[in-house]
Amino acid sequence: MSSSFGTALRVSVFGQSHGAAVGALVEGLPAGFAPDLDALRAFVARRSPGRFPWDTRRQETDAPRIVSGLNAHGATCGAPLCILVENADTRSADYGNLRFVPRPGHADYPAWMKWKGENDIFGGGHFSARVMAPLTAAGGIALQILEKAGIRIAAHLLEVDGIADAPFTVRDSSPAGLAALAAEMDALADGREFPVIDDDAGERMKERILAAQAELDSVGGICECVATGLPVGAGSPLFDSLESQLARVLFGIPAVKGIEFGAGFDAARMRGSAHNDPYEIRGGAVMTKTDNAGGILGGLSTGMPLRLALAFKPISSIGREQDSVDLVALEPAKLTVHGRHDVCAAVRAVPIVEAACALVLLDALLQDGMIEV
Ligand SMILES: Cc1cc2nc3c(=O)[nH]c(=O)nc-3n(C[C@H](O)[C@H](O)[C@H](O)COP(=O)(O)O)c2cc1C
């Protein structure tokens, strides 16, 4: 079992949804970086529930507490950095009926089999997106380190229940295209409450989520993420390719079922003449006119914007009666899920995606000695 990742930057997450706390341990952070803790708290709060009427009603402040890894001046000191996020509002009684009757679509059944019924079901245990709160905090620090080095990361909701936002301007990497992308990233960084580029699309997404909630149902969505300012050549060929490093961690975000880089699955429907990104010299630097590669070739960064998109499945814990089984009696059972659940994971996942990408990219740059703090 592995709740850890990374090579030069090693990240482990721990805790369960209804335990005392969830946390992250980060080893390998460069020494001498003083994180802006107010900015970090604001970043982590974007993942917290309670901002939208369809979020879980669970009330958590998610204030990250850094218990080791900083010196007296508040800078990273080389020791492992430990972040704790306390679980304050647990209501375990809501999960009583799940003890022997697994939720369709959740981890309950395979976890029961794997751990012989000893798995912690309360709030989803270690499978819960609560574990993403300290990961978001750790990634928030990585984001600040990257930003200081001129590397920016931003994500938004590309789609919710079939309603599409304007995509990032990534396929066109002409000077005008790059300027448009920078403006889109600026707008999202400007504290936009609902993370979309096109506010009208955002309103329609909200209506769809509320409609699903009223029908005791849930919806899926797609998050699109870009990173700009990366140097050329970060990553590795083959199995430690930048795509592999990112995918390994991003698939660890609960409810992620698919990932694409650059033109992604569209690439399969293109001709080489349309998919290849032609080179040109701009201001003495090698650039490409388009970016179907999504900033990665041969597992290495090209220096052009890195683009990926993640498919999130609909939340499995829905209020409708569903068919399940009693795992002890081995008989059919009807299940109605109680408790406080989100309706759309993709919305609260946006900062988690940014944080996870930041940790992986910082690790890749540290592995290659390509970043100074
Ligand atoms: C931000 C976020 C919030 C989530 N909230 C819930 C929730 O309230 N209820 C639920 O059943 N699943 C929720 N999930 C998804 C489950 O954690 C996930 O589906 C489950 O652990 C099984 O893992 P899998 O979907 O990756 O197979 C959430 C996921 C994310 C990313």
What is 187-240 written as a DSSP string? HHHTT-SS--SSHHHHHHHHHHHHHHHHTT----EEEEEEEESPPTT-B-SGGG
Whose tokens are 């009208």? That residue is 200
Instruction: Name residue 296's beta-bridge partners.
Output: 301
The stretch 199-219 carries a mean pLDDT of 97
1 confidence band (pLDDT: 50, 70, 90): low
Q: Looking at residue 7, what is its pLDDT?
A: 98
Q: What is the pLDDT at residue 190?
A: 82
Q: What is the pLDDT of residue 135?
A: 98
Mean pLDDT for 330-356 is 96
Longest CA–CA span in the chain (Å) reads: 72
**For residue 361, is pLDDT > 70?**
yes
pLDDT of 56 over the 90 cut: no
- What integer is the mean pLDDT of 343-355? 98
pLDDT of residue 277: 98
pTM above 0.95, yes or no: yes
Task: Please report the pLDDT score of residue 318 as a whole number.
Answer: 97
* Closest atom, ligand 1, to C-alpha of 337: 11
pLDDT band at 97 (very low <50, low <70, confident <90, very high): confident
Whether pLDDT at 191 is above 80: no
- Mutating to test ligand 1, I would choose from 213, 316, 343 the residue with most ligand atoms within 8 A of its C-beta, which is 316
Please say if the pLDDT value at position 98 is more than 90: no
Of all atoms in ligand 1, which is nearest to the CA of residue 47?
1
d(CA 49, CA 136): 14
Q: How far is the CA of 84 from the centre of ligand 1 (A)?
A: 21
List the one residue out of 142, 130, 150 whose CA is nearest residue 48.
130
- Residues in contact with ligand 1 (CB, 6 Å cut-off): 56, 106-107, 124, 127-129, 253-255, 313, 315-317, 341-342, 345, 348-349
pLDDT tens per residue, range 142-153: 999 999 999 999
Please say if the pLDDT value at position 55 is more than 80: yes
User: Across residues 84-111, what is the average pLDDT?
Assistant: 91
CATH class of 4-367: alpha beta
Q: What distance in angstroms lies between residue 289's CA and the mean position of ligand 1's atoms?
A: 39
Whether residue 22 is predicted with pLDDT greater than 70 in this model: the reply is yes
Mean pLDDT value of segment 136-165: 98
Instruction: Give bridge partners of residue 333 from the DSSP assignment.
Output: 324
Ligand 1 center to 210 CA (angstroms): 18
Residue whose tokens read 């060929």:
237
pLDDT value of position 59: 86
Give the model's pLDDT for residue 160: 98
Q: What is the pLDDT of residue 50?
A: 85
8 Å CB contact between 100 and 328:
yes
| Lowest mean per-residue pLDDT among 72-76, 95-99, 116-120 | 95-99
Give the per-residue pLDDT at 289.
97
- What's the rounded mean pLDDT across residues 310-316? 98
pLDDT at position 96: 81
Nearest CA to ligand 1 atom 13: 315
Q: For residue 345, how far is its CA from the centre of ligand 1 (angstroms)?
A: 7
Atom of ligand 1 nearest to the CA of 124: 21
292 Cα to the center of ligand 1, angstroms: 31
Question: Model confidence at 368, in pLDDT bands (50, 70, 90)?
Answer: very high
Find the 261 Cα to ligand 1 centroid distance in Å: 23
pLDDT band at 69 (very low <50, low <70, confident <90, very high): very high
